[in-house]
Structure 1
Amino acid sequence: MTRNADIHHNWTKYAAWFAALLLFAMLLASCGSNDGSNSGSSGGDHAGQQTADDGGSPANADAAGSEADSGEHAAADAGKETVYPLTVTDKTGTAITLERAPERVVMLGPSDTEIVFAIGAGSLAVGADEYSNYPPEAAELPRVGDMNTNIEAVASLNPDLVLGSASMNAAAVDALRQLGITVYASDPQTLEETIAHIEQVGVLLNHQAGAEAVAAEMRAAIQYVADKVKDAEPLSVYLEFSPGWTVGSGTFLDELVKLAGGVNISADQSGWFEVDSEAVIQRNPEVIIYPEIEGVDLLGEILSRPGWDQIEAVKNDRVHAVTNDPLVRVGPRLTDGLKEIAAAIHPDLFP
Structure 2
Amino acid sequence: MLLALALVVTACGNDDDDAEPVSTEEAAPPPTEAAPSPAPTPAEPERPQRIVSLSPMATEVLFAIGAGEQVVAVDEFSNYPPEAPVTDLSGWDPNVEAVLSYEPDLVVIANDANDLVAGLEAVGVEVHLSMAPNDLGRGYVSAIELGAAVGRIDEAQALVADLQAQINDALAAAPDVPVRIYHELDNTYFSVSSNSFIGAVYAAMGTINIADEADTDGYGYPQLTEEYVVEADPELIVITDLVGYTPEDVAARPGWGEVAAVRNGNIVVVNADIASRWGPRFPQFVEAVAEALQSVVAPVS
In the superposition, the TM-score normalised over structure 2's length comes to: 0.77
1:184 corresponds, among 128, 148, 160, to 128
Residue 77 of structure 2 aligns with which residue?
A: 131
- Residue 176 of structure 1: how far off its partner (Å): 1.8
1:57-80 deviation per Cα after TM superposition (whole angstroms, max 9, x unaligned): xxxxxxxxxxxxxxxxxxxxxxxx
Q: Which has the higher contact order (CA 8 A, sep 6+)?
A: 1
Report percent identity of matched pairs.
30
CA displacement, residues 108-127 of structure 1 (integer Å, 9 cap, x when unaligned): 11011111101111000001
Q: 1:154 maps to what in 2?
A: 99
Q: Deviations over 1:144-194 (max 9, x none)?
A: 235211321210111111111245x46322322233211111322222211
Measured against aligned partners, the alpha-carbon deviations of 1:210-237 in whole angstroms (never above 9, x if no partner) come to 21221011100221123223x6323111
Corresponding residue SS for 2:158: helix
| Separation in 2, partners of 1:251, 1:303 | 26
* Cα distance change, pair 179–237 in 1 and its aligned pair in 2 (3 A): same
Matching of residues 315-330 of structure 1 within 5 Å: 315-330=263-278
* Alpha-carbon separation, structure 2, partners of 1:120 and 1:242: 34
Q: Which runs of 5+ in 1 are unaligned?
A: 1-47, 51-81, 85-99
Distance between the aligned counterparts of 1:127 and 1:166, measured in 2?
A: 17
C-alpha RMSD of the superposition: 2.4
Distance 1:49 1:107 in 2: 31
Equivalents in 2 of 1:287, 1:142: separation in Å?
38
Question: For this pair of structures, how many residues does the alignment match?
Answer: 253
1:297 maps to 2:245: yes
Q: TM-score, normalised by structure 1?
A: 0.66
Flag the 1:49–1:240 CA change in 2: closer, same or farther, 3 A: farther
Q: Report how far residue 313 of structure 1 moved.
A: 0.5
Match of 1:277 among 226, 250, 253: 226
CA distance in 2, matches of 1:175, 1:299: 45
Q: Identify if the C-alpha distance between structure 1 residues 162 and 252 changes in structure 2 by more than 3 Å, giving closer, same or farther.
A: same
Structure 1 counterpart of 2:15:
none
Residues 211, 222 of structure 2: 8 Å contact kept: no
Shift of 1:49: 10
- Inter-partner Cα distance in structure 2 for 1:301 and 1:246: 18
Greater displacement, 334-343 / 142-151: 142-151
Asked whether the 8 Å contact 1:119–1:214 carries over to 2, the reply is yes
SS at match of 1:132: coil
Map residues 53-64 of structure 1 onto 2, 5 A cutoff: none
Q: Unpaired runs of 5+ in structure 2?
A: 1-39
**In structure 1, distance between residues paired with 2:66 and 2:145:** 14
CA–CA distance in structure 2, aligned partners of residues 260 and 49 of structure 1: 46
State the AA in 1 paired with 2:242: I
Is 1:211 the equivalent of 2:156? Answer: yes
Is contact 1:164–1:185 with CA below 8 Å preserved after alignment?
yes
Q: CA deviation at 1:267?
A: 1.3
Q: What letter corresponds to residue 224 of structure 1 in structure 2?
A: D
2:58–2:130: 8 Å Cα contact kept in structure 1?
Answer: no
**Is 1:200 aligned to residue 161 of structure 2?**
no
- 1:241 and 1:308 map into 2 onto residues whose CA distance is 17
CA distance in 2, matches of 1:327, 1:274: 18
| Cα distance in structure 1, aligned partners of 2:64 and 2:161 | 13
Match among 273, 289, 294 for residue 346 of structure 1 = 294
Tell me how far apart the structure 1 counterparts of residues 273 and 62 of structure 2 sit (CA, whole Å): 16
> Partner amino acid for 1:156?
S
Q: Distance in 2 between matches of 1:265 and 1:173?
A: 37
Q: Which amino acid aligns with 2:195?
A: G
1:174 aligns with 2:139: no
**Which of these two proteins has the greater Rg computed from alpha carbons?**
2
Structure 1 residues 232 and 194: alpha-carbon distance in aligned structure 2, compared to 1, 3 A threshold = closer
Secondary structure of 2:83 counterpart: helix
Structure 1 position 243, deviation (Å): 2.7
Q: Select which of 222, 239, 253 maps to 2:198.
A: 253
Q: 2:167 aligns with which of 222, 231, 240?
A: 222
Deviates more, 1:219-228 or 1:107-116: 219-228
After the TM superposition, which residues 81-120 of structure 1 pair with which residues of structure 2 at under 5 Å, given as runs?
Answer: 83-84=44-45, 100-120=46-66
**Which of residues 302, 311, 326 is equivalent to 2:259?**
311
| SS at 1:288 equivalent | strand
Q: Tell me what 2:5 maps to.
A: none
Shift of 1:283: 1.2
- Residue 284 of structure 2 is matched in structure 1 by 336
Find the aligned partners of 1:166 and 1:239 in 2 and give their Cα distance: 24
